[in-house]
Structure 1
Amino acid sequence: MISFFRRKRALAALVGLAVAGATLTGCASGTSSAGGAAPKGTYTFWDPYPQFDASSAWTKLVEKCGTEAGVTVKRTGYDTSDLTSKALLAGQQNNSPDLLLVDNPVVSTLADAGILTDTSETKTSTASVEKNILAAGQIDGKTYGVPIGANTLALYYNKKVLDAAGVDPSTITSWDALTSALEKISATGNKGITFSGIGTEEGSFQFLPWFWGSGADLTKLDSSDGVSALSLLTDWVNKGYAPNSVINNTQTTSWQEFLTGKFGFSENGTWQLAGVKTSGLDYGIISIPSKSGGAAPAPTGGEFLTIPVQKDTARYQVSEKIQSCLTSTKNYVSTDTTLSYVAPTAAAQQQQLAAQSDLKPWVTAVGDAKGRTSDNLGTKYPKISEQMWKAEQNALSGSQTPAAALQQAQTAAAAAIK
């Protein structure tokens, strides 16, 4: 186990000026009980759900799990980016919350900073969690936290548009088949596909299924496989199969394009399912195809429930009870249905499917998905991702060829992760 003070020194070196101006509220406190009986009183919980107030089902569930553990839980919701800054600063100041729910790519950043305990320290069981989902929180053989749920990407399709073009969605199992379908759809006067290619993590998130589906690896962005993936999307734009707007599209704006009813396909996520049901569109969902056939691995989204390092390690006993409560099968089903997540355990997924059969393609997609920080990339991923979305921007805009854009991106990424 890394000592508390070694962790603190490592964190101080990492935080720097990026969080110097952040403010801090709702922090854990208490005197050390030197690993003895778990302290009672108030336990603090931070999450990225500021939309949920004190009357929400989520807040009530968090509080209920605290009550069952014999303590009071004080929950605070922050915007995702703000939460990361606050967590870094709190760790530097020895003032971390008892429980911290963060977007899964952030786990490696916080773990590298020495903020988080691993599951061996807290005696947290992760045996029932699907391995591909859990991998997003694993670094150097250690697991930091438990996933609260997962989402990912697939292709929504408009049945009316595909029928008009004579396209059978069940035949779309490769890039060639998809491109042929887009060509047929465009010939009818409709538009082929919309996606998010914006120059942010959203752009990388949506590019990854094509990148991984080509067989490419994030440690070599400019491989021939990687170039084929970027060439695929660039060709779609150049041929009019995808609109020029994709270069600035967020996942929300690309979804709004799909809801016009003029697009055959939309690359988007689990979180749009509720909206498409009320949209009036006759829709379907298929997995994103890989280059040569079969489903491509799409990136997993969703949060991990972690237990930050505390000077008083006896607090971990209660924190783990709260964590276990929130990640029980019953509460997975309740929480993940509310958040439009697929549960990370087979038992909870089966209960979700029994209540909501149209989740089936999403359970399949999550089963094929992959964590962005998997392959032990950890804190290297954000640096690689930044160069990847820049390359996509350069290629989609026509300022560079896909090969040149990715070669430049690989040089920059290699320098950044040294």
Structure 2
Amino acid sequence: MNSFSGQRRLTVAVLTALALATSATACGSGLGGTGTKAADSGTYTVWDPYPQFAGDSAWTKLLDDCGGKAGVKIKRTAFDTSDLSNKVLLAAQQDNSPDVLIVDNPVVPTLAEAGVLTTTDDNKLDTSEVDPNLLGAGRSGGKTYGTPIGVNTLALYYNKDVLEIAGVDIASVRDWTSLTAALAKVKKAGKKGITFSAIGTEEGSFQFLPWFWGSGAKLTRLDSPQGVSALSLWTDWLKQGHAPNSVINNTQTTSWQEFASGDYAFAENGTWQLANAEDVGFDYGVLPVPGADGGTAAAPTGGEFVTVPVQSDTGRYTTTRKLVSCLTGAANLYTTDTTLSYLAPTSEVRDKQMAADAKFKPWAEAVKAAKGRTSGDLGTKYPKISEQMWKAIQSALSGSKSPKDALTAAQRAAN
């Protein structure tokens, strides 16, 4: 069991990686709180990025219930996602980390590299039921840090009415060629094709990744022929009028608003829009993002990992493990992911979600093929790669550079 000794000097690289990794998602404002130094042996601290859940929420009640089963009280503190990472780093320097930390998955390798987190080998967390592709987001240096509490990812929402008018059978959309052919039919019918987010932030990279990975490209070589083909796909869609120029500035929220207007055939967006999809006023469906030559493309995972920060008092880990096991075990995971609007990271609980609501079926398929942005031990390298990726996307879609030249420059900068 590793123990935390002394203060760690946080490098500029670590701080920059955290700033970039947390730029895609955020929620609410912090509620204040303290780490373990302020907690006695009968109180365990939990920090999470869910300030939207008040003290009487199902989430808080679950935390209290897990604490009761472990024989301790829970002191919970919620922070904005972008705020949480910096608070954790400061607490670690002061040997005042929370017992349980729930954090956005791209941040896990960065905190691990900074020496803030224990490994699952150290803390003895059982992750055997978690899908390996989802667990990969929490790996760094060949070791795993924590376990996912749930996942979301991207897929294509489609407007059944628009496709019917255009004479498109959704079953025919199996790869990039058939998708582009469908967009051409939609345009000919006087409707709009596809909307997505290509904004110059992590959101733009996040939305481009299914196409990038779906081409067979790897993040270690942005300018591969496969990567160029993916950016060319997006660029050609704009040139042919299949996607609007607004995608260059679209966030995932504004892209969704375009789709909700009822004029678009397709929109790339996430599971977090399911509740909004019920209110759009037209019949919709969901299709996993297709790979270039068919099959389901790997989409990036969103969602958080439950981690165990390093403590100087290593005797606390036994109870902490009970708390994490309670939160992420099959008995509670279904309730937890319903509360958080996530797909479960285990096939057993996802099957239960699909049995309860058939709308989860295409999302379950997308999750099976999904992977973490930092997977493959990219760790703190990912944010820099992502920044160059979104810059290349902006250059290509604006017409200032060809897809090949944009990605060549991106790879050079990433190196």
If the length of structure 2 is used for normalisation, what is the TM-score?
0.94
Q: CA deviation at 1:15?
A: 6.1
8 Å CA contact 2:45–2:99 kept in 1: the answer is yes
Q: Distance in 2 between matches of 1:397 and 1:14?
A: 30
Are 1:149 and 2:159 counterparts? Answer: no
Q: CA deviation at 1:138?
A: 1.0
2:5 is matched with 5
Q: Distance in 2 between matches of 1:203 and 1:286?
A: 20
Q: CA deviation at 1:249?
A: 0.7
1:214 is matched with 215
Q: How does 1:46-195 map to 2 (within 5 A)?
A: 46-195=47-196
CA gap 1:267/1:18 in 2 versus in 1, 3 angstroms: closer
CA gap 1:108/1:180 in 2 versus in 1, 3 angstroms: same
Q: How does 1:176-255 map to 2 (within 5 A)?
A: 176-255=177-256
8 Å CA contact 2:4–2:95 kept in 1: the answer is no
Q: CA deviation at 1:311?
A: 0.4
2:36 is matched with 28
Q: CA deviation at 1:330?
A: 2.6
Q: CA deviation at 1:319?
A: 0.8
2:274 is matched with 273
1:34 is matched with none
8 Å CA contact 1:204–1:385 kept in 2: the answer is yes
Q: CA deviation at 1:4?
A: 2.1
1:374 is matched with 375
Q: Deviations over 1:89-142 (max 9, x none)?
A: 111121111111011000001000000001111111000001111111011221
- Count of residues in correspondence between the two structures: 404
SS at match of 1:314: helix
Q: Distance in 2 between matches of 1:281 and 1:102?
A: 36
Q: Distance in 2 between matches of 1:242 and 1:16?
A: 36
SS at match of 1:156: strand
SS at match of 2:344: coil
What one-letter code is carried by the residue in structure 2 that aligns with 1:5?
S
Q: Deviations over 1:337-362 (max 9, x none)?
A: 12221101111112111211210111
8 Å CA contact 2:2–2:310 kept in 1: the answer is no
What one-letter code is carried by the residue in structure 2 that aligns with 1:187?
K
1:259 is matched with 260
Q: Distance in 1 between matches of 2:284 and 2:377?
A: 37
Q: CA deviation at 1:11?
A: 4.3
1:282 is matched with 283
SS at match of 2:41: coil
Q: Deviations over 1:293-315 (max 9, x none)?
A: 11111111110000000000111
8 Å CA contact 2:32–2:77 kept in 1: the answer is no
8 Å CA contact 2:150–2:343 kept in 1: the answer is yes
SS at match of 1:4: coil
Q: CA deviation at 1:177?
A: 0.5
Give the share of equivalent positions with the same residue, in percent.
61
Q: Distance in 1 between matches of 2:300 and 2:108?
A: 15
CA gap 1:355/1:398 in 2 versus in 1, 3 angstroms: same
Q: Distance in 2 between matches of 1:268 and 1:14?
A: 30
Q: Distance in 1 between matches of 2:57 and 2:172?
A: 43
8 Å CA contact 2:17–2:384 kept in 1: the answer is no
What one-letter code is carried by the residue in structure 1 that aligns with 2:334?
V
CA gap 1:352/1:377 in 2 versus in 1, 3 angstroms: same
8 Å CA contact 1:24–1:90 kept in 2: the answer is no
What one-letter code is carried by the residue in structure 2 that aligns with 1:275?
N
Q: CA deviation at 1:26?
A: 1.6
Q: Distance in 1 between matches of 2:17 and 2:127?
A: 33
If the length of structure 1 is used for normalisation, what is the TM-score?
0.93
Moved more, 328-337 or 117-126: 328-337
8 Å CA contact 2:156–2:286 kept in 1: the answer is yes
8 Å CA contact 1:10–1:114 kept in 2: the answer is no
Q: Deviations over 1:163-182 (max 9, x none)?
A: 11111111111111111111
Q: Deviations over 1:228-286 (max 9, x none)?
A: 10010011111110011101111111001000000000001111112112322201111
8 Å CA contact 1:15–1:88 kept in 2: the answer is no
Q: Deviations over 1:332-390 (max 9, x none)?
A: 10111122211011111121112112101111110011111111111111110011011
2:23 is matched with none
Q: Deviations over 1:55-100 (max 9, x none)?
A: 1111111111111111111111111111111111111121111111
SS at match of 1:264: strand
CA gap 1:16/1:266 in 2 versus in 1, 3 angstroms: closer
8 Å CA contact 2:17–2:383 kept in 1: the answer is no
CA gap 1:131/1:389 in 2 versus in 1, 3 angstroms: same
SS at match of 1:125: coil
Q: Distance in 2 between matches of 1:279 and 1:23?
A: 34
Q: CA deviation at 1:211?
A: 0.3
8 Å CA contact 1:139–1:378 kept in 2: the answer is yes
Q: Deviations over 1:164-218 (max 9, x none)?
A: 1111111111111111111110111111000000111111110000000111110
Q: CA deviation at 1:10?
A: 5.7
Structure 2, unmatched stretches of 5+, are 19-29
Q: Distance in 2 between matches of 1:322 and 1:157?
A: 40
